Amino acid sequence: MKCMHCLVEFHASKDEDYIGKDVDDHWSIFRYDCPSCKRMNLFLVRGEGVMGTRMYIPDSNVRVVTPVRPFGSNRPPCPAEVPDSIASDYREACLVLPFSAKASAALSRRCLQNLLRDAAKVKSGDLSKEIQEVIDSGKLPSQLADSIDAIRNIGNFAAHPMKSKSTGEIVDVEPEEAEWNLDVIESLFDFYYVHLQKLRRNEKH
């Protein structure tokens, strides 16, 4: 697994503390100790418990996993070059992802729109048209252009004009779609704020 503190991959050795059962399900705490940073990764786990030498929740019976230490998702940190106003939406979208894919997607769409306005200098409009303007400019690598184009199809976003105009609209999305939104934003951060700024610095020398 990947440590949620330092993002280093390590072979996971799990400890489980079974908490008990209530009207909703069985509950446990799964613990993974990172050998690199020496910190605990803790998850609240909901699932079907079974009795062995003690009560526990097998991996195959897990229904919901919620990170509790550190709180939030194990996304990489935002590059220092990204403006705070944009970075704050990204961080919040990452933070709420384990709890609400819909809220995370709404925040990441707002982050994407502000990013395109700041870095790509698109004309203000609805998000769908701003994405199209960036694609038509031909300045993005083809794979990245295809990725932001696909964002319009997540949650059938482009099919609803009012949703396109209000980026914060709550749209039904799958958790994988919300996470993929963040993957695309990370790639755009790297392209606009890290890669291009590095090129500009090199041109000055």
pLDDT 10s digits, 76-111: 778 889 999 999 999 999 888 888 888 998 899 999
Name the pLDDT band for 158 (thresholds 50, 70, 90). Answer: very low
Indicate if the pLDDT at residue 169 is higher than 60.
Answer: no
Residues 163 and 89 in one domain: yes
b/e for 131-141, b at 16 or more Cβ within 10 A? Answer: bbebbeeeebe
With respect to residue 165, please indicate whether it lies within any of the assigned structural domains: yes
With respect to residue 48, please indicate whether it lies within any of the assigned structural domains: yes
Q: How many CB atoms lie under 10 A from the CB of residue 192?
A: 21
Residues 88 and 134 in one domain: yes
With respect to residue 6, please indicate whether it lies within any of the assigned structural domains: no
* Domain end residue (candidates: 43, 69, 95): 69
With respect to residue 77, please indicate whether it lies within any of the assigned structural domains: no
Cβ contacts of 61-66, under 8 Å, gap ≥ 24: 63/25, 65/30, 65/98, 66/98, 66/99
User: Domain tally for the chain?
Assistant: 2
Residues 97 and 33 in one domain: no
Residues 95 and 62 in one domain: no
Predicted confidence at residue 28, as pLDDT, reads: 98
What is the pLDDT averaged over residues 131-141?
A: 93
Residues 32 and 117 in one domain: no
Whole-model pTM?
Answer: 0.67
With respect to residue 44, please indicate whether it lies within any of the assigned structural domains: yes
Residues 102 and 61 in one domain: no
With respect to residue 9, please indicate whether it lies within any of the assigned structural domains: no
CATH code of 132's domain: 1.20.120
Name the pLDDT band for 128 (thresholds 50, 70, 90). Answer: confident
Name the pLDDT band for 163 (thresholds 50, 70, 90). Answer: very low
Tokens of 125: 């409009």
Residues 88 and 158 in one domain: yes
Indicate if the pLDDT at residue 10 is higher than 70.
Answer: yes
Percentage of the chain modeled with pLDDT above 90: 53
Q: How many residues does the chain have?
A: 205
Residues 176 and 91 in one domain: yes
Per the DSSP assignment, residues forming a β-bridge with 67 are: 43
With respect to residue 151, please indicate whether it lies within any of the assigned structural domains: yes
With respect to residue 158, please indicate whether it lies within any of the assigned structural domains: yes
Query: What's the domain range around 53?
Result: 14-69
